[in-house]
């Protein structure tokens, strides 16, 4: 497995309450191409944007929540999905955050105070999740 590469500092969010957890689905020509193109966590008053590109793990801090949008030139639509609602997560403390190299990419594992976790896996530049 390859060494993990990061772009942007991994935020110090372990032990903090996640009040929002969203992802952006990428739909092209009516087909779901990527389940989690970008992941957003709201902690305190900051939106943390987490994504993968070419095997690199990215972190950014944004001040506003994401919105769904279209890229007409690619015939793609990027849809905001509320993962807290979809996965029946309450406002939970993020107990741990870990990163791992996997074949063809990397993954991030978010484990919450109730021992549930969600894994975001990026393989061959396509991100999916499993709870």
Kindly report the pTM of this predicted structure. Answer: 0.93
User: What is the number of alpha carbons within 13 Å of residue 102 lying toward its C-beta?
Assistant: 19
Query: Alpha carbon of 27 to those of 39, 76, 86, 107: distances in Å?
Result: 16, 5, 18, 22
- Distance (Å, rounded) from C-alpha 127 to C-alpha 70? 19
Tens of pLDDT, residue by residue over 36-50, are 999 999 999 899 999
Six-digit token string for 105: 């990419």
**Mean per-residue pLDDT, 117-121:** 97
Question: pLDDT-based confidence at 54, cuts 50/70/90?
Answer: confident
Strand 56-62, strand 5-7: pairing? parallel
Size of the chain in residues: 131
Strands 117-123 and 126-130: what pairing? antiparallel
pLDDT of residue 1: 58
- For residue 80, what pLDDT is reported? 98
- Residue 116: half-sphere exposure toward Cβ, Cα within 13 Å: 12
Q: N- to C-terminal Cα distance for the chain?
A: 24
Mean pLDDT taken over the chain: 95
56-89 pLDDT, tens digit each: 999 999 999 999 999 999 999 999 999 999 999 8
């Amino acid at each position: 497995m390859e060494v993990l590469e990061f772009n942007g500092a991994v935020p110090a969010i372990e032990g903090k309450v996640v009040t929002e957890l969203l992802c952006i689905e990428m739909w092209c020509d009516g087909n779901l191409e990527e389940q989690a193109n970008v992941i957003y966590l709201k902690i305190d008053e900051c939106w943390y944007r987490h994504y993968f590109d070419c095997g690199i793990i990215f972190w950014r801090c944004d001040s506003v929540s994401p919105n769904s949008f279209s890229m007409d030139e690619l015939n793609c639509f990027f849809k905001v999905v509320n993962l807290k609602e979809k996965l029946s997560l309450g406002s939970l403390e993020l107990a741990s955050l870990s990163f791992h190299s996997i074949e063809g990419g990397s993954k991030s594992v978010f484990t919450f105070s109730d021992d549930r976790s969600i894994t975001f896996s990026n393989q061959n530049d396509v991100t999916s999740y499993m709870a």
